[in-house]
Structure 1
Amino acid sequence: MLDYETLRIIWWLLVGVLLIGFAITDGFDLGVGALLTLVGKTDNDRRVMINTIGPHWDGNQVWFITAGGAIFAAFPFIYATAFSGFYLALMLTLMALWMRPIGFDYRSKLTDPRWRSLWDWALFAGGIVPSLIFGVAFGNLLLGVPFVFDDMLKVTYTGSFFALLNPFAILAGLISVGMLLLHGSTWLQLKTDGVIRERARFLSLVLGVVTPVLFILAGLWLAFGLDGYVITSAVVTDAASNPLHKTVVAESGAWMNNYAQYPWMLVAPVLGIVAPVLVSLLSIRGRSGWAFIGSAGTLAGIILTAGFSMFPFLMPSSSHPGMSLTIWDASSSHLTLSIMFYVALIFVPIVLGYTLWSFWVMRGRIKEQDVADGHGHTIY
């Protein structure tokens, strides 16, 4: 059996893998939905766009559900505290996500342009709102979340919903929107042709520059304008989880410390900067497949940067830094992590396998004539 410290690190990595898997697979769904009213100028344009994600979106949701389940089971303190602090934000996210299956199902029930336009805007909201909120949430994690525990480890959130909408968190939200729109635009390059592909190609050129600029700005802000968190007491990596047994201080630029201590972590921010620029260059050359891989690399680099910067913190507390949650004191028991590890060894490859298989089966471009004639995989 693996020791407790190793299992905690493994589950930190696995949750990161699941979040990246969700961002790469469901990210282009969200991006296409958010671009529906911008790239799609006619009803047929929008039907083509919807049919590029129609065969995949529900399967891609598995990554989201699995990531949520993994956080619940592996880091229950994080799950409980997040739902206390981000409850309204999470409810808004869920309500926006509900618009997708409803919109996909009901949009084409009637041919009335006003009916279809209504659902097009609902699908837009289902793409843009989660994209923004996910980024805002990560921004607030880097700032620290206002919560405290009592002696019985009951959590109390001491902030407000509107306090989450601070300048840095909004910048993080814009980065999230930018990278997911970039991912959606490269997906449209890969899966469509004609005027839709050209519009998506132009957007990829723009977003491939805007996204790294915003990412660099956030990095400079973290390095020189915001406090990070540092554990100053002895770190016990194999004790029972209890977030009350440590001392933490806030220091300016502390989120950069890991890059000095572990230089190999720099690969993440470098990827987050270089990959979107490559997407722009590849889009110019019409290499849509490689552009899509580049946008996936962008998502991985940006998410990994947030994780590497915060390690070992998972949810710092701005109200009482010593009560911050880390991978060493917010996890489930040794036995629980052990059982889950072997379950994950079986089921994560299965999820990955059928995801790749579905992409292979549904390969090829969706054309306007296919939608008009109902050929191929077109159903919406």
Structure 2
Amino acid sequence: MDYETLKLIWWALIGVLLIGFAVTDGFDMGVGMLLRVIGKTDMDRRVMINTVGPHWEGNQVWFVTAGGAIFAAWPMVYAAAFSGLYTALIITLCALFFRPVGFDYRSKVDDPRWRNMWDWGLTIGGLVPPLIFGVAFGNLMLGLPFELDSLLRPSYHGSFWALLTPFALICGLLSVAMLAMHGGTWLQMKTRGLLHTRAQRVTQLCALAVIVLFLLAGIWLLLGIDGMHIVDSKPLGDKINPLMKTVAYGNSGWQANYQAFPLLWMIPVLGVLMAAATWLCSRRESPLAFVASALSITCIILTAGIALFPFVMPSSRDPNVSLTMWDATSSELTLGLMFAAAVIFIPIILLYNIWCYRKMFGRVTREYIEDNSHSSY
């Protein structure tokens, strides 16, 4: 397998890991952010937490694996992102810290103040990471203010507050709406009574929000944001680095792949249609709402990935040093060894996830929590 093929494979595999994280960990983050919205009583919130109780820890493996894969496959991207976006990443990690502690300790003390505190912690842990991830994707479309010196050392010239531009915030809200919709479909499958009805209403509202925000972001991207395209570079077979290319801005930059392969336009179209299908299936009480929601999230992430390709981390300060999946990767040996490990372990992870979800369609009720109060979250 040649070097260029390995680079392309790892671009696709990292995309699979990010989508896997959004689809699996996404619904329990969605449940977390809805905890204080539709959970009106302590029992409501306890039922909601226990719908994701068996799965939330395993779901986070996708996030950890994706981070490790980026570090190993795209070390320059990892270095530039974790130095330049340090504040945003620390806020994300601090928000994520609330999740394991909140799940494990919330019901250890039968005190309303104690439980309310951890309910807010779980809400923050479900809301903040999707918001920041969405803002990060929005800023990738705008370009990040970093540059590389002759030794390929990155230097970042922006601030955390500079990331919060209107377009990036729309992408952040889209990310929040997607996962809230996904969490709502999960709760609709797993609960009964008033909680089920509230989850159904939130799901339909969030599905409409996803459609509106996705269309708004897409129109803004097409009409108001210049994308990048490579106008000159070394042959792909050479050992190249990010300094060995010329990049230009152009209105068609982020549309270039779609213009070259018109069938790719079906992916953003499906992103909208699947969100609409989520609304319809939720209204009809169909468990296919969860499937449609997962497909909508997948298509929306793919839309952004295909628009950026081959860029991974564009630079607004010096477009010529933008990091791409061709010139910011590890060595051929590293990618080959990682690919061999992925061929072995990714199927194992998938099979394990399927086994864990074999009873996912059972519902959690108030009676179940009362009968298993000492073993439930």
Letter of the aligned partner of 1:92 in structure 2? Answer: I
Q: Percent identity?
A: 56
Shift of 1:59: 0.4
Shift of 1:238: 2.7
Aligned-partner SS, 1:248: strand
For 2:118 and 2:253, locate their aligned partners in 1 and report how far apart those are by CA, in whole Å. 45
Shift of 1:267: 2.4
Q: Which runs of 5+ in 2 are unaligned?
A: none
Q: Which residue of 2 aligns with 1:328?
A: 326
Q: Which residue of 1 aligns with 2:177?
A: 178
When residues 241 and 109 of structure 1 are mapped into structure 2, their CA distance, relative to the original with a 3 A threshold, is farther
When residues 241 and 56 of structure 1 are mapped into structure 2, their CA distance, relative to the original with a 3 A threshold, is farther
Tell me which of 355, 372, 375 is aligned to 1:374: 372
Q: Which residue of 1 aligns with 2:2?
A: 3
Structure 1 segment 227-376 matched on structure 2, within 5 A: 227-234=226-233, 236-287=235-286, 289-374=287-372
Letter of the aligned partner of 2:311 in structure 1? Answer: F
How far does the alpha carbon of each residue in 1:60-87 deviate from its partner, in whole angstroms, 9 at most, with x for none?
Answer: 0110011111111111111111101111
Letter of the aligned partner of 2:158 in structure 1? Answer: G
CA RMSD of aligned residues (A): 1.2
Structure 1 segment 1-380 matched on structure 2, within 5 A: 2-234=1-233, 236-287=235-286, 289-374=287-372, 379-380=376-377
For 1:236 and 1:212, locate their aligned partners in 2 and report how far apart those are by CA, in whole Å. 41
Q: Which runs of 5+ in 1 are unaligned?
A: none
For 1:238 and 1:87, locate their aligned partners in 2 and report how far apart those are by CA, in whole Å. 34
For 1:284 and 1:186, locate their aligned partners in 2 and report how far apart those are by CA, in whole Å. 11
Q: After TM superposition, which residue ranges in structure 1, 4 or more long, deviate above 4 angstroms?
A: none
For 1:329 and 1:223, locate their aligned partners in 2 and report how far apart those are by CA, in whole Å. 27
How far does the alpha carbon of each residue in 1:169-226 deviate from its partner, in whole angstroms, 9 at most, with x for none?
Answer: 1000000000000000001011111111111111111111110110011001010101
Shift of 1:128: 0.3
Query: 2:234 touches 2:244 (CA, 8 Å); kept in 1?
Result: no
For 2:114 and 2:78, locate their aligned partners in 1 and report how far apart those are by CA, in whole Å. 38
Shift of 1:264: 2.4
For 1:211 and 1:222, locate their aligned partners in 2 and report how far apart those are by CA, in whole Å. 16
The normalised TM-score by structure 1 is 0.97
Letter of the aligned partner of 1:99 in structure 2? Answer: F
Query: What number of residue pairs does the alignment pair up?
Result: 377
Query: 2:234 touches 2:240 (CA, 8 Å); kept in 1?
Result: no
Aligned-partner SS, 1:286: coil
Shift of 1:362: 4.8
Aligned-partner SS, 1:360: coil
Shift of 1:236: 2.6
How far does the alpha carbon of each residue in 1:99-121 deviate from its partner, in whole angstroms, 9 at most, with x for none?
Answer: 00011111112111111111101
